[in-house]
Amino acid sequence: MKVLVSVDMEGLSGVVHPSETNPDRYDYERGRALMTAEANAAIAGVLDAEPGAVVWVADAHGTFRNLLPEDLDRRAHLVRGRPRPLGMLAGLDEGTDAVLLIGYHARAGAGPAVLAHTMSDAILDVRVAGRSLGEIGLNVAMAGHLDVPVVLLSGDDTACAEFSELVPSAVTVAVKQTVGQAAAVALHPQEARERLRHAAADAIARRASIPPVTMAGPLHVEVDLYGPYMVDLAVLVPGVARVGGGRTVAFRAVDVAEAYRLVQLLVQLASIKPD
């Protein structure tokens, strides 16, 4: 069997501030070490349950170059760097049997939630078929499009609740309790890793009882952008139109895969600053 472990950073135990997730800030190396350790805990849990599993790990934060390759469990295959197909879910295909989301955070506008956002600070909201989806929802839907269940998520309590609304039968590990956008009561990192390992094994063992989340196309997608100049760039993409004022664009996608790719493109365009 093949398992994909997608690892983000904001939802790790002990991480509460952008300085721990930003390569240009002083505490980033500590964040990288915590990220790699939680990834290893998830890998170990998967292999506890299925010793013969092939485990792929997608570095899913920022530049996608955060996990420390030399410290990652040598039994895993690491996907790092960008741009790449499927972004945070790089490595996902029809042959994947299960996905685990490690260190994930709540969507933009959720709160209280530690470091909540959706892909970029430039994105205020993404609505697919009228439903607000953050990174959790978009990745769950993308996996479901390929008929792959997302069986586990770890993060703060708000992220876990967001995931449970989408996949009630899946496993969650709340490694910290939210106090605010940059504050939480966190488990000791070693305790978090032990819980993750046990939970990953449990999730893999009962993956057959956790259904994929599917969304039938075509889909109407709306994206609220932070700045009007971002909208000016977004509408240069064929099929994307300005709607509902100065900050919202919309498009019609034939399926979740097309919606996922276009949202990724809009995130990249939003990072372009005007001259």
Structure tokens at 82: 């960008």
Structure confidence by residue, pLDDT tens digits, 139-149? 999 999 999 99
Residue 244, pLDDT score? 78
Q: What are phi and psi of 218, to 5 degrees?
A: -70, 160
Q: Decide if 161 is inside a domain.
A: yes
> In the block, which residue shows the tokens 């509902």?
244
Q: Decide if 234 is inside a domain.
A: yes
Enter the pTM of the model.
Answer: 0.97
Q: Residue 237 — very low, low, confident or very high, per pLDDT cuts 50/70/90?
A: very high
Q: Decide if 214 is inside a domain.
A: no
Burial of 81 (0-12, 13-18, 19+ CB in 10 A): exposed
Residue 93 pLDDT greater than 80, yes or no: yes
Q: Decide if 223 is inside a domain.
A: yes
Q: Rounded CA gap, 5 and 46, in Å?
A: 9
Residue 187, pLDDT score? 98
Instruction: Based on the fold, state whether residues 29 and 80 are members of the same structural domain.
Output: yes
Q: Decide if 275 is inside a domain.
A: no
Instruction: Based on the fold, state whether residues 174 and 109 are members of the same structural domain.
Output: yes
What integer is the mean pLDDT of 36-50? 98
Residue 117 annotated in active site: yes
Which listed residue (117, 145, 198, 220) is catalytic? 117
Q: Residue 273 — very low, low, confident or very high, per pLDDT cuts 50/70/90?
A: confident
Burial of 172 (0-12, 13-18, 19+ CB in 10 A): buried
What integer is the mean pLDDT of 43-69? 98
Residue 215 pLDDT greater than 80, yes or no: yes
Domain that holds residue 245: 219-270
Q: Which of 157, 180, 209 is the last residue of a domain?
A: 209
Residue 245, pLDDT score? 77
Q: Decide if 173 is inside a domain.
A: yes
Q: Which of 174, 209, 244 is the last residue of a domain?
A: 209
Residue 186 pLDDT greater than 80, yes or no: yes
Residue 146, pLDDT score? 98
Structure confidence by residue, pLDDT tens digits, 166-177? 999 999 999 999
Q: Decide if 49 is inside a domain.
A: yes
Q: Which of 209, 239, 258 is the last residue of a domain?
A: 209
